[in-house]
Structure 1
Amino acid sequence: MSAPALRLGTRRSLLARTQSGHVADLVRARLGREVELVEVTTDGDRSQASNTSLVGSSSTGVFVSALRDALLADEVDLVVHSLKDLPTAPHAGLALAAVPTREDSRDVLVARDGLTLGELPVGSRLGTGSPRRAAQVAALGLGLEIVPIRGNIDTRVGKVTAGELDAVVLARAGLARIDRLDLVTETLDPLQVLPAPGQGALAVECRESDTDLVAALGEHLDDAGTRAAVLAERAVLATLEGGCSAPIGALGEVVEGEDGDELWVRAVALSPDGALSVRSSAAGRLDDAVGVGTRLGEEMLADGAGQLGQPGPVDTQTEQGEER
């Protein structure tokens, strides 16, 4: 008798269903298990559909929580998140079973007339919902007006095609997954704009108690280099969150060292206006990814990263959901 189909919980957005479908295909091919997608509708989805805001809450947090609630209620067997949306603290009863091979983690520009960031005239209106992107673009000193925006990929790009904005900054991974890289006018060098911790990576979660499924997903879907990189990035973020409310970017990469592969991590914390920043990097073993990231975060705090933020909470962890 064949095993029952695994129920994979997904949000209804195009990007969420595409990401979930990608993981479903991996499970079918590598675990030999059938998978059915189960739609989980969240308050965040309903809010976006009606063009209203979720007052007093993070839409990203709503999306993540709804999927996790469905897991814990045994309505689904596994879920897929954009890893950059996940809080850094572990969630009781759930396991991060797999981190598949990462998409390109960089940010991209979608601008009118095919322009690059450096070609945008002074005073051009650039939209982003991310404090991290806003601060790093401002730090380049290009004289652009940074406009806060919300919404999915089509909503944001639509503001450019409608002439409301001259450009928007998005995550390359999201556009790649929905086959819309033709929109990109420039891929931003991490030397200019470091991505969010975990950007471009997917997180596959299931219940801790489903030990066989946790083991199978880890064995067949997990990519060791991607996991090490994102663990280090998230460790930087977790360390800085303890004493820093500044926008944060981080990127871990597996590079060739003298004794084999090693992990190299770069990070930046900025004042919200981009005028001040603390940048640093560190290297270490892949099997000490959390340690590498933690030590880097501690070094940045010692260098003054904790004094860069503004009064009150700044959303350094999330960027309005998914790979936008």
Structure 2
Amino acid sequence: MTRTLLIGTRASALASTQTGMVRDALVDNGATADLHFVHTPGDASQKAQTPVSRIGVGVFTETLRNALAAGECDVAVHSFKDLPTAPDPRFIAVVPPRVDPREVLVSHGNLTLRELPTGAKIGTGAPRRVSQIRAVRPDVECISIRGNIDTRMGRAGDGTTSTVVEGGPGDLAAVVLARAGLERVGHLDHAAETVAVTDIMPAPAQGALCVEVRADDAEAVAAVLGLDDPASHARAVAERGVLATLEAGCTAPVGAYSEFGTAEDAAILTLQAGAFALDGSTRVVREASVTVDLSDVGADPLHPRWRDAARELGRTVGQKLLDAGAAEVIAASVPE
């Protein structure tokens, strides 16, 4: 490596921590790398508490991609779930090892979702989470929240003291967050519960990072290829294939969860995905499995053959959902 790779990132604690992990991995592999901070419109909307569902797809990623394309940075690190589903031919993407994609509940008194008192206020603005929470606990009230992890965790309190102000610290009984974020910033000990996938199915590719470089930057491509974890990449591609088939954005009430088998069936990738009515009344879930040989790279290492098998699995499950009426469920659940 003859130059220092500049890695584009948002300035939030979570984004910079995730990017720092990528930088450290690159350095461990012999590269020289440093962080390059990029301000995005999504950061301003977060300060204004605008719900992500109203901002639009790619709010946190478009500016980073533009900076990468313009040569302002050499590498961009995204939360894979936030990227548009259509691949961008300008870039080569790799996926480092994924962490647990499930949700966690941070609550006053360390109560679980089922233990929260009747009428409890739960902080989350994602339609996917809201719809599934309402199915499990139709009595609770979901409150849209924004902010960094510390701010959102701080909203969890008993909400009863005279000093509590609505929208301020301690005004909610609980908040729902991605386990991956808490794990990466070292706050997993604050979680009262890791929520079962059967209660809240994660977002497609949640817990996975996507590291992009310009396709014509051979030096950067060579540097990041060693970061790719084929199993994590295959799972993320399969899950995002569901979104692509449904023609749904990352804020749609759609969840997906995949896993490889163990022992003799280790090459079997199973994917389940669902579409959920915002009022909690309807849950359409379908599943399929396929053999994914991660050693089958094919003629082009940058676009391995196993990725096609994973993508086709996503299409299969997505089509099953469409056949079961998922499009109507999603259309009826678009927030006003």
TM over 0.5: same fold?
yes
Gaps in structure 2 of 5+ consecutive residues = 158-168, 293-305
Give the Cα–Cα distance (whole angstroms) in 2 for the partners of residues 242 and 29 of structure 1. Answer: 38
Is residue 225 from structure 1 mapped to residue 246 from structure 2 by the alignment? no
Candidates 322, 325, 331, aligned match of 1:301: 322
Q: Answer yes or no: is the 8 Å Cα contact 1:247–1:314 preserved in 2.
A: no
Q: Answer yes or no: is the 8 Å Cα contact 1:266–1:282 preserved in 2.
A: yes
Q: 1:222 to 1:236 in 2, by over 3 A?
A: same
Candidates 287, 306, 310, aligned match of 1:289: 310
Is residue 48 from structure 1 mapped to residue 55 from structure 2 by the alignment? no
What is the Cα deviation at residue 217 of structure 1?
Answer: 1.6
What is the Cα deviation at residue 258 of structure 1?
Answer: 5.1
Is residue 125 from structure 1 mapped to residue 121 from structure 2 by the alignment? yes
What is the Cα deviation at residue 90 of structure 1?
Answer: 1.5
Secondary structure of the corresponding residue to residue 198 of structure 1: coil
Give the Cα–Cα distance (whole angstroms) in 2 for the partners of residues 85 and 122 of structure 1. Answer: 33
Give the Cα–Cα distance (whole angstroms) in 2 for the partners of residues 29 and 246 of structure 1. Answer: 38
Candidates 240, 243, 246, aligned match of 2:246: 240
Structure 1 residues 273-282 or 258-267, which shifts more? 258-267
Query: For residues 60-93 of structure 1, what are the alpha-carbon distances to aligned partners after superposition, in whole Å with 9 as ceiling and x for unaligned?
Result: 6232111111101101000100111111012241
Candidates 52, 75, 78, aligned match of 2:75: 78
Q: TM-score, normalised by structure 2?
A: 0.86
Secondary structure of the corresponding residue to residue 309 of structure 1: helix
Give the Cα–Cα distance (whole angstroms) in 1 for the partners of residues 122 and 49 of structure 2. Answer: 22
Q: Answer yes or no: is the 8 Å Cα contact 1:122–1:144 preserved in 2.
A: yes
Q: Answer yes or no: is the 8 Å Cα contact 1:239–1:294 preserved in 2.
A: yes
Q: Answer yes or no: is the 8 Å Cα contact 1:106–1:195 preserved in 2.
A: yes
Candidates 27, 43, 66, aligned match of 2:63: 66
Is residue 113 from structure 1 mapped to residue 109 from structure 2 by the alignment? yes
Q: Answer yes or no: is the 8 Å Cα contact 1:42–1:63 preserved in 2.
A: yes
Q: Answer yes or no: is the 8 Å Cα contact 1:10–1:40 preserved in 2.
A: yes
Give the Cα–Cα distance (whole angstroms) in 2 for the partners of residues 284 and 212 of structure 1. Answer: 35
**How high is the sequence identity, in percent, across the aligned residues?**
45
Is residue 16 from structure 1 mapped to residue 18 from structure 2 by the alignment? no
Query: For residues 159-204 of structure 1, what are the alpha-carbon distances to aligned partners after superposition, in whole Å with 9 as ceiling and x for unaligned?
Result: 2143311001000000011001121000001111110001000000
Give the Cα–Cα distance (whole angstroms) in 1 for the partners of residues 109 and 222 of structure 2. Answer: 49
One-letter amino acid matched to 1:183: H
Query: For residues 235-254 of structure 1, what are the alpha-carbon distances to aligned partners after superposition, in whole Å with 9 as ceiling and x for unaligned?
Result: 011111269x9510001111
Q: 1:233 to 1:215 in 2, by over 3 A?
A: same
Candidates 188, 192, 201, aligned match of 1:194: 201
What is the Cα deviation at residue 21 of structure 1?
Answer: 0.2
RMSD over equivalenced CA pairs, Å: 2.4
Q: 1:309 to 1:182 in 2, by over 3 A?
A: same
Secondary structure of the corresponding residue to residue 103 of structure 1: coil
Give the Cα–Cα distance (whole angstroms) in 2 for the partners of residues 253 and 312 of structure 1. Answer: 28
What is the Cα deviation at residue 142 of structure 1?
Answer: 4.8
Secondary structure of the corresponding residue to residue 227 of structure 1: helix
Give the Cα–Cα distance (whole angstroms) in 2 for the partners of residues 63 and 105 of structure 1. Answer: 19
Give the Cα–Cα distance (whole angstroms) in 2 for the partners of residues 311 and 42 of structure 1. Answer: 30
What is the Cα deviation at residue 94 of structure 1?
Answer: 1.8
Candidates 126, 132, 136, aligned match of 1:136: 132
Structure 1 residues 208-217 or 226-235, which shifts more? 208-217
**Count of paired positions:** 310
Give the Cα–Cα distance (whole angstroms) in 1 for the partners of residues 252 and 14 of structure 2. Answer: 28
